[in-house]
Amino acid sequence: MRKYHALPVALLAALALTACQDGTGTKDEGAAHPDPASATVTATHPAEDGVGGKGTGGTTGTQGTTGATGTEGTSGATGTQPTKGDKAAKGDKTAKGTTATRVSCNGSNTTVTAQPVRRPLNHMLLTVKNTGSKMCDLTYYPVLRFDEMQWVPRPIKDSKPQAVTTLAPGESGYAGVSLSAADGSGEWGTTSHKLTVGFQGRTPNSDGGPSALPTLPAKGVYYDSTLTVTYWLRDMDDALTY
């Protein structure tokens, strides 16, 4: 990077005197005027030559010869302002603080209900309400277990939201459950009277905390091998479209 330094006052005076004596009446200021953009660059390093930081260029500018050098002194003062990088770092810290205030939604800070619906056919709606004092995240999809079943229902990939479903205190999130095939093509059909809803943590298939045990209808809930579930969503209607 090319650096420019302010010329000594004595040398500037000599140049001015020479210009007056040559009879042309015109001052040769080409060497005393660095490119404005380059002057600004030099000002971003005030510690290297002391010109920008001390405003020496501004003083030299009063000689009527090196106005650009005076601008350099002004830029040195501006260089003390926070940079974009400093602001971005501060913004990141704020964002991390916001994330740190959120917790995972689970059976300890929510209430969970499971309710079969008439439409779509053979579907059930899971509703999770944040009963805690902090915002909580419903990550991924619910891990369902009817009675003592030994397999985990598949999630419906098309239902994955673009962002994690976050609930403020008092807010609710939803997941739709497709219980059985409408055309009877499913296998191992059975009626269950107990449901356990598991929650995932920040990473897939990790433990998100205590499970919930929502009450099922007295007659139970019928499901078969086609049992699937949506991701956690903010909108009830969206949860029942799959």
Instruction: Kindly report the pTM of this predicted structure.
Output: 0.60
Per-residue pLDDT reduced to its tens digit, 89-135 = 333 333 333 667 899 999 999 999 999 999 999 999 999 999 999 99
Per-residue pLDDT reduced to its tens digit, 168-188 = 999 999 999 999 998 989 999
Q: What angle is formed at CA 69 by the lines to CA 66 and CA 72, rounded to 5 degrees?
A: 160
Helix ranges (H only) for the chain are 9-21, 36-43, 46-49, 51-54, 56-60, 67-78, 84-100, 236-239
